Structure 1
Amino acid sequence: MHDLVKLLEKKNLTISSCESITGGAFSEALVKTEGASKVFRGGLIAYSAHSKVHLARVQLTTLQSFGAVSVETAIEMAQNAKNLFDSDMAISFTGNAGPENYENKPLGLVYIALAYNNKCLVYEYQLSGNRKQIINKCVKLTPELIKENLK
């Protein structure tokens, strides 16, 4: 995370997050990094469908049509966090860390969305491991994903 914070600071960019599957693990890792206060606007944990609709402003029709674990939900989470926190970019995490299938979607299916420069890119991963391992993998993937999009 150190390299990510330094890069955002160098480029004078701010970031925010909207987390479901990671439950705040990304935000926690970021704020443990020296200099995070210069680049991190804030994070929202929208774990339940209720919080996705009422706090993260995901459309109820999106959840009903595509589910919480979907490209569409990840996009709305990221775009709405970017607007809510007035940040230059926002990252969102939604997926299924188990122990069972959720919404008939496989264990380890994860969507990470990055809203930046008037676009939103979504990355789909099929991760293995237990809940903790899947969450940790999501967080570890994120700095490189963001850095690649800033090049």
Structure 2
Amino acid sequence: MKDTSQQISDLSYQLVQLLIKKNLKISFAESMTGGLFASELTRIEDASKVFKESFVVYSDQAKINVLKCKKTTIDQYTVYSKQVIEEMLLGLRKQSEADILVAVSGIAGPRTYHGLDIGTVYIGIDYQGQIINEKHHFNGDRQEIRYQTLIFTFNKLIEYLKK
């Protein structure tokens, strides 16, 4: 089995190549990954042909200020929810002309929050108006959870783009 670093590099390359082939652009709204998606994608040559932007909205206030998430939604459901992912995607849509939007929020640890387990991650993908909004659980330490989130999300994007 490939090591995590090589796996991420390979997936990033595949994603960039598929986006180029399909002439699509991508943007991210990252919370718990803190810019990891953007960082890994831009390590690939020609990423500039497909990558529009990434907003790192780590704090609740950043989600409110940058993506216009509603404080009432955050207060009612927490930032670790499908409802907030939906608002993150909507806010990203208003700021980006990308064809594919990705939003991620979750708990990488080391502590639990709001009764949710470490490794609880919400991932939203808006591919030309088709929205996927899912809850997942990953195991490991903080960094492993962030890497697993990227690997899962990039695999999911590649799967959709190959259809």
The structure having more radius of gyration, on CA atoms, is 2
Match of 1:111 among 106, 122, 132: 122
Q: Which residue of structure 2 aligns with residue 139 of structure 1? A: 150
The CA RMSD measured in Å over matched residues stands at: 1.1
Q: 2:59 maps to which residue?
A: 48
Tell me the TM-score normalised to structure 1 length.
Answer: 0.95
- Aligned length in residues: 151
Which sections of structure 2, spanning at least 5 residues, go unmatched?
Answer: 1-11
Partner of 2:98: 87
Question: C-alpha separation between the residues in 2 aligned to 1:82 and 1:149?
Answer: 19
Q: Give the structure 1 partner of residue 76 of structure 2.
A: 65
TM-score, normalising length: structure 2 = 0.88
The one-letter amino acid of 2:132's match is L
Q: How far off its partner does 1:149 sit?
A: 2.1
Task: Say if 2:138 is the partner of 1:127.
Answer: yes
| Counterpart-to-counterpart distance in 1, 2:19 and 2:47 | 9
AA in 1 matched with 2:57:
A
The superposition leaves residues 14-53 of structure 1 with CA deviations (integer Å, 9 ceiling, x where unpaired) of 0000000100001100111111100000000000000010
Instruction: Determine the C-alpha separation between the residues in 1 that align with 2:145 and 2:18.
Output: 26
Structure 1 spans left out of the alignment, 5+ residues: none
- The structure 1 segments of at least 4 consecutive aligned residues displaced by more than 6 Å after TM superposition are none
